[in-house]
């Protein structure tokens, strides 16, 4: 009896193009928000929190509008 494992094709990309674009735009929005928060005089911890929130919101937004 041969054991069949569900192994992905080695030539298949890890992420699809749509997912990569959405995550890239989310990271850019999060970095922008975090940097602007720190430059506005807040602590780096506030910048990380603002960046994380902006990342989550941007991913949800771009997931909705990119088809």
What is residue 67's predicted lDDT score, i.e. its pLDDT?
84
**Tens-place pLDDT, residues 8-22:** 668 888 999 999 999
Write the secondary structure of the chain as one string of H (helix), E (strand) and C (coil): CCCCCCCCCCCCCCCCHHHHHHHHHHHHHHHHHHHHHHHCCCCHHHHHHHHHHHHHHHHHHHHHHCC
**Tens-place pLDDT, residues 43-63:** 999 999 999 999 999 999 999
pTM for the whole structure:
0.81
């Amino acid at each position: 009896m041969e054991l069949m494992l569900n192994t992905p094709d080695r030539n298949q990309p890890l992420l699809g193009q749509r997912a990569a674009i959405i995550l890239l735009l989310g990271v850019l929005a999060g970095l922008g928000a975090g940097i602007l928060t720190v430059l506005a005089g807040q602590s780096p911890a506030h910048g990380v929190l603002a960046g994380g929130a902006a990342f989550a919101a941007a991913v949800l937004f771009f997931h909705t509008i990119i088809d």
